[in-house]
Structure 1
Amino acid sequence: MTTQHLEHPTHTHTHGPDCGHQAVSHGDHVDYAHDGHLHREHSGHWDECESGAHTTHDGHTHVHGSDCGHEAVRHGDHVDYVHDGHRHAEHDGHYDDH
Structure 2
Amino acid sequence: MSTPHLDHTAHRHSHGPACGHEAVPHGDHIDYAHDGHLHREHKDHWDECEPAQHVAHQSHEHQHGEGCGHHPVRHGDHVDYLHNGHRHAAHEGHWDDH
- The bucket for the TM-score relative to the shorter chain is over 0.9
Deviation per residue, 1:4-62 (Å, 9 max, x gap):
11110021100001111110100111000111111010111101110011111101110
Deviation per residue, 1:42-89 (Å, 9 max, x gap):
111101110011111101110000111111100111111000111000
The unaligned stretches of length 5 or more in structure 1 are none
Partner residue, 2:51:
51
Please report the TM-score for the alignment, with normalisation by the length of structure 1. 0.96
* Mapping for residues 24-43 of structure 1, pairs under 5 Å: 24-43=24-43
The unaligned stretches of length 5 or more in structure 2 are none
| SS of residue paired to 2:73 | strand
The root-mean-square deviation of aligned C-alpha atoms, in Å, is 0.7
Partner residue, 1:96:
96
Partner residue, 1:72:
72
Letter of the structure 2 residue corresponding to residue 44 of structure 1: D
Runs of 4+ in structure 1 off by over 6 angstroms are none
Please report the TM-score for the alignment, with normalisation by the length of structure 2. 0.96
Partner residue, 2:9:
9
| SS of residue paired to 1:16 | coil
Partner residue, 2:61:
61
